[in-house]
Structure 1
Amino acid sequence: MIALLLRDLKLAMRAGGGFGLGLVFFLIVTTLVPFAVGPQSDLLASIAPGVLWLGALLACLLSLDRLLALDWEDGTLDLLATAPLPLEAVVSVKALAHWITTGLPLVLAAPVFGVLLNLPAPGFFWLVASLAVGTPALSVVGTFGAALTVGLKRGGLLLSLLVLPLYVPTLIFGAEVARRGAQGMETGTPLLMLAGITLATIALLPFASAAVLRVNLR
């Protein structure tokens, strides 16, 4: 599994789906928003949690179409399906690789981008905490979507349409944690809901992704 993880990390970097692409997109979003809404500090502070979470979500979405497509094209996916390693473990490793190359850099860079949107000081910790808890769910759900569309020509648009509705609960509770934290309010309930969503996706979706892949590989 470690060898597969290292291989996927290298492929993600070489294929242009590494952390650089997501960070650049995240930076573009946080830079353009002040130009769009104006320089009002109070307005930027109020919308910062939602904008930052939406930017992180869309940045995670950018590289999903390459998550399984490269292995499908060169036949590696067929070999992995017949390997001693269970297919559920394969998709879990791929989701982990996607999170390391996309989600983790966004978590680490979020405080810097929060400054650009005038995020209140109490909100920085909760923004990072919510992204750290919620972004793994984005990668796991994205892996499920990639498994559904693997092998389809121009499946990137279909993948986005399938995955975005599944991202909505994570977006709602993640942004709510950051918003409440920025306003000094209690964050326990939305944070627990966010953690529950992440744990549920990690526990269930690898099996669903593996089942879909077995059907597509027949």
Structure 2
Amino acid sequence: MMQVFAEVLRRDLRVGMRQASDWLNPLVFFLMVVALVPLAVSPAPERLQAMAAGIVWIAALLAVLLAMDGLFRSDFDDGSLEQLLLTPAPLSLLVLAKVLAHWLQTGLTLVLVAPVAALLLNLPVAAIPVLCLTLLIGTLTMSLVTAIGAALTVGLRRGGVLVPLISLPLHIPVLIFATAAVQTAMSGLPVSGFLALLAAFLVLALLFAPLAAAAALRLSLSGG
């Protein structure tokens, strides 16, 4: 089973590298939101600093939602998704491999460019590690949860419009506690409690999201 998991992971990483737009588009979108908000609101450093955590996290959330529609779409179009159902490995394990490969190309990329975005928004340097850590945990959690919506709508012609509507309410706790952690770090207070909650959300997502997404895929492919 782990060999099949590794093969699916490697395959999706190779496909993602050949289709650079799948991870470049969310990254460009993320940077555009971060760059345009100061122009629309205010370039005042004090005001930007107060909103920095929320701006970065909202941009990251929207970028993840933008990217996740393609998680199963190409496999559905070329018929390889049906082949995954025929493998001896559990479908939930293969879903986890696909989500992890997708996150390595999109979510991890957002984490790597987050310090640049934070500096553009005048976020204190001391709070940047906390921001990156919340994004590291939170984007993986959001990718796992959004995979459920992507699986439910994979057979629909305009399913990409529905993925954010299905997934967005489930991301609100992550958004709240992640931004609260960064704001607390800016005040110089301990953030371990917020990080523990984010880690708990990630564990729950790792346990239940692949199972739910696998069930949703079977439902979509069966025409039900």
TM range (shorter): over 0.9
Report the secondary structure of 1:20's partner residue: helix
- Decide which of 34, 40, 55 is 1:30's aligned counterpart: 34
What is the CA–CA distance in structure 1 between the aligned matches of 2:86 and 2:47, rounded to whole Å? 55
* Residue type of the alignment partner of 2:40: A
Deviation at 1:192, TM superposition (A): 1.1
Report the secondary structure of 2:155's partner residue: coil
* Residue type of the alignment partner of 1:126: V
Paired residues of 2:29 and 2:63 also in contact (CA < 8 A): yes
Report the secondary structure of 1:214's partner residue: helix
Deviation at 1:22, TM superposition (A): 2.0
Report the secondary structure of 2:69's partner residue: helix
Structure-1 residue corresponding to 2:216: 212
Structure 2 vs 1, CA of residues 200 and 68 (structure 1 numbering), >3 Å: closer, same or farther? same
Structure-2 residue corresponding to 1:134: 138
Instruction: Give unmatched runs, 5+ long, in structure 1.
Output: none
Structure-2 residue corresponding to 1:114: 118
TM-score (norm 1): 0.95
Structure-2 residue corresponding to 1:153: 157
- Decide which of 8, 11, 24 is 1:7's aligned counterpart: 11
Q: How many residues are paired up?
A: 218
- 1:193 paired with 2:197, answer yes
What is the CA–CA distance in structure 1 between the aligned matches of 2:161 and 2:133, rounded to whole Å? 30
Q: Deviations over 1:58-114 (max 9, x none)?
A: 111112111111111111111110111210111101110111011001111101111
- 1:165 paired with 2:174, answer no
What is the CA–CA distance in structure 1 between the aligned matches of 2:43 and 2:221, rounded to whole Å? 52
- 1:84 paired with 2:84, answer no
What is the CA–CA distance in structure 2 between the aligned matches of 1:19 and 1:183, rounded to whole Å? 34
Report the identity percentage.
Answer: 44
Q: Deviations over 1:91-150 (max 9, x none)?
A: 101110111011001111101111100001221111011111111101101111111111
Instruction: Give unmatched runs, 5+ long, in structure 2.
Output: none
Moved over 6 A (4+): none
Paired residues of 2:155 and 2:221 also in contact (CA < 8 A): no
Structure 2 vs 1, CA of residues 17 and 176 (structure 1 numbering), >3 Å: closer, same or farther? farther
What is the root-mean-square deviation in Å for CA atoms of aligned residues?
1.3
